[in-house]
Amino acid sequence: MQASNQQNTAQDDQVSWWFKLLARGLGTIGGLVAMVMGIMRCLTFTPLCLVAGILELLAGFMVVVLEAPCCCPFLDFIDKIGKFSENRPYWQKGALYVGSGIVPILLCFSTTTVLGCALVFGTGVLYGMMALGKKASREEMLAKATGSDVEMNAGLIEHEQVGLHVPDSPAK
């Protein structure tokens, strides 16, 4: 348990506060939109679309419970789920949200499923970006780029010395 807390604090140091707030806000709004669209999708005669609507409704509820447990104060167990969710690594939340956003779309491709699941999917993408971590500094990227150029030029010089030099094109 302590290892996961250390990993969670290491993740928190890499992600800015506004990006975390953006992910939570998009998750909350996306979950509410997915629930409304899921209810609308359930008004159908097609069995697969009915299942897709139910899954969309469940995905929206899951995202709201995990991202904004304050929206469900009438359920006693929500606080435990919210605390459990906060201790999860970002990649696990991202994979869960992306997966739950894709399945209803694959079952029934319609406007309501795409609109409802797009925000849940987008929340998963944001959590995936948070799991990747911060981008390297400009100096680190330049050092890496110049280091790879030196290796590439050294390889070209070796090939030229061996005799693998391609002759120039004929003059026009």
Query: What are the b/e assignments for 82-98, b being 16+ CB within 10 Å?
Result: beebeeeebeebbebbb
170 in a structural domain = no
Residues of the domain holding 111: 2-134
Domain match, 90 and 150 both = no
Domain match, 9 and 90 both = yes
pTM: 0.70
Domain match, 29 and 81 both = yes
106 in a structural domain = yes
- The pair phi, psi for residue 59, each rounded to 5°, is -65, -40
Say which residue the tokens 């998750």 belong to: 27
Domain match, 24 and 59 both = yes
Domain match, 85 and 34 both = yes
Number of domains, the chain: 2
Closest among 42, 65, 44 to 116, alpha carbons compared: 42
C-beta of residue 139 within 8 angstroms of C-beta of residue 111? no
- pLDDT one digit per residue (tens) for the chain, 172 residues: 445 555 554 455 677 888 888 988 999 999 999 999 999 999 888 899 999 999 999 999 999 988 887 777 777 777 788 788 888 899 999 999 999 999 999 999 999 999 999 999 999 999 999 888 877 778 887 888 887 544 545 555 555 555 555 555 555 5
Say which residue the tokens 């400009």 belong to: 138
Cα 2 to Cα 9, 14, 130, 147, distances in angstroms: 11, 19, 21, 38
Domain match, 129 and 143 both = no
